[in-house]
């Protein structure tokens, strides 16, 4: 099997052209994988393009490769988006990293009644964490990291084909959920903040068309719940693909 390398945003030119690999990639290929000139591998741009490349030269901080073939990759379906109530400190960093590794297509931070969030938006930081997670996990697509919005504003948006809001006080679990892949192309996963959603917000989520589900009897931290919910849905939706597919 060919090794994969992801360089988010790299421009993949015509077959026969050369591409310069950055210092991190050169280090990874040379010192971790111990590859040499002549090795053939996949290079992903994080936006759905994949190139077969052959290494021409490999120095400590830079590597050059020749592009052989470039192909477009289809977006995996159903897409899974995480709607996460923003939390304080570094919790969102962990959510962004883990859920990117798991293959989410987007993360939408929402501000809810009990969100204990710093008002300073950290979107640029989250985007750079997501890029790093794409690189490390070998995903073909970078997730979209949105600017935070109020939960109420999000509720007014059109719902996905399947919209699930997670709550520990629900009795319905994921066990009975059958996902018809022909009908369900987009899934939304809604997770509350440290203190959970208020009674009023839970009513509003239901009225706006989300289905309330539980992850079991134990209370998970907000930064754990999103990753667990996304992982289970990836499994239920048959989305555990080969490297580079998601
Ligand atoms: N006392 C809070 C409550 O009753 O909602 C606990 C909030 S929990 C720390 C943070 C978020 O993680 C919840 O709003 C929910 O979205 C999710 N969560 C945690 N444990 C869960 C479970 N067992 N089932 C479903 N969602 C859960």
Averaged in consecutive runs of 10 residues, what is the pLDDT profile of the chain (246 residues)? 83 94 90 92 90 92 94 92 91 96 96 77 89 85 94 97 92 85 94 95 97 94 96 90 55
Cβ(167) to ligand 1 under 6 A?
yes
Ligand 1 atom with the smallest distance to the CA of 213 is: 25
| 50 and 99 both lie in a single domain | no
Pairing of strands 79-85, 149-150: unpaired
Please report the pLDDT score of residue 111 as a whole number: 93
Query: How far is 168 from 175, CA to CA, in rounded Å?
Result: 15
The best mutation among 113, 114, 167 to test binding of ligand 1, ranked by most ligand atoms within 8 Å of the C-beta, falls on: 167
Q: Whose CA is nearest to atom 3 of ligand 1?
A: 196
| 67 and 121 both lie in a single domain | no
Residue 21 host element (H or E): strand 18-21
Domain hosting 23: range is: 3-72
> How would you list the strands of the sheet with 3-6, edge to edge?
3-6, 40-44, 49-58, 63-72, 18-21
Ligand 1 atom with the smallest distance to the CA of 215 is: 24
Please report the pLDDT score of residue 1 as a whole number: 66
Domain CATH number, residue 20: 2.40.240.20
Which of 24, 48, 72 is the last residue in one of the domains? 72
Residue 20 host element (H or E): strand 18-21
| 108 and 131 both lie in a single domain | yes
From the CA of 156, how far away is ligand 1's center (Å)?
23
pTM of the model: 0.88
């Amino acid at each position: 099997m060919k090794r994969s390398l992801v360089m988010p945003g790299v421009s993949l030119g015509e077959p026969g052209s050369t591409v310069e690999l950055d210092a991190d990639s050169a280090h990874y290929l040379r010192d971790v994988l111990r590859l040499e000139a002549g090795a053939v591998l996949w290079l992903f741009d994080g936006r759905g393009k994949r190139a077969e490349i052959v290494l021409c030269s490999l120095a400590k901080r830079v590597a050059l490769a020749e592009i052989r073939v470039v192909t477009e990759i289809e977006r995996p379906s159903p897409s899974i988006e995480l709607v996460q109530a923003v939390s304080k400190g570094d919790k969102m960093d962990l959510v962004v990293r883990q859920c990117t590794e798991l293959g989410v297509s987007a993360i939408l931070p929402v501000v809810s009644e009990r969100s204990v969030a710093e008002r300073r938006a950290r979107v640029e930081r989250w985007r750079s964490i997501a890029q790093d997670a794409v690189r490390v996990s070998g995903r073909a697509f970078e997730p979209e990291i949105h600017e935070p919005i109020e939960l109420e504003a999000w509720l007014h948006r059109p719902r996905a084909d399947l919209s699930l809001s997670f709550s520990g006080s629900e009795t319905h679990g994921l066990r009975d959920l059958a996902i018809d892949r022909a009908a369900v192309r987009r899934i939304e996963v809604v997770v509350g903040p440290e203190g959970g959603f208020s009674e009023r917000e839970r009513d509003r989520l239901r009225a706006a068309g989300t289905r309330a589900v539980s992850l079991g009897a134990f209370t998970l931290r907000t930064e754990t719940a999103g990753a667990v919910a996304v992982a289970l849905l990836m499994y239920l939706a048959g989305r555990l693909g080969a490297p580079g597919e998601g």
